[in-house]
Amino acid sequence: DAGVIQSPRHEVTEMGQEVTLRCKPISGHDYLFWYRQTMMRGLELLIYFNNNVPIDDSGMPEDRFSAKMPNASFSTLKIQPSEPRDSAVYFCASRPESGELFFGEGSRLTVL
């Protein structure tokens, strides 16, 4: 298996633009997590899904952030409109029912 695949690896955009980050979890993994990493706040859990259903989105900063998982092999994290303070590395991770959490390589977002 290729591991958790995220795209794009790097995104530079202007304030106000819509940003969509994508994730393909490892096949067979029941749980998918979106994290945000910044120097100030470290690694923060934004939302996680179980069998494509959002379970806990209490970490989503505000209504500008939304996440979907239309099927077991794909998830998106959308920011609309983006702001400079959203600049961070966004990680997707997946795991089976009982087992290790695997991270993707991350998507580095810069909002100018």
Partner 1 sequence: GEDVEQSLFLSVREGDSSVINCTYTDSSSTYLYWYKQEPGAGLQLLTYIFSNMDMKQDQRLTVLLNKKDKHLSLRIADTQTGDSAIYFCAEKRAGSYQLTFGKGTKLSVIP
Least spacing, CB of residue 4 vs partner 1, in Å? 7
Q: Are 4 and 102 within 8 A, CB to CB? A: yes
Least spacing, CB of residue 51 vs partner 1, in Å? 12
Residue with token string 């749980």: 31
Helices H / strands E in the chain, number of each? 0, 11
Cβ distance to partner 1 smaller for residue 83 or 97: 97
Cβ distance to partner 1 smaller for residue 45 or 81: 45
Least spacing, CB of residue 14 vs partner 1, in Å? 24
- Contacts with partner 1 by CB under 8 A lie at 4, 31, 33, 41-43, 45, 48, 50, 55-56, 91, 93, 100-106
Q: Read out DSSP for 82-105?
A: --GGG-EEEEEEEE-SSS--EE--
Six-digit token string for 81: 């409109």
Cβ distance to partner 1 smaller for residue 81 or 108: 108
Six-digit token string for 82: 């983006």
Least spacing, CB of residue 69 vs partner 1, in Å? 15
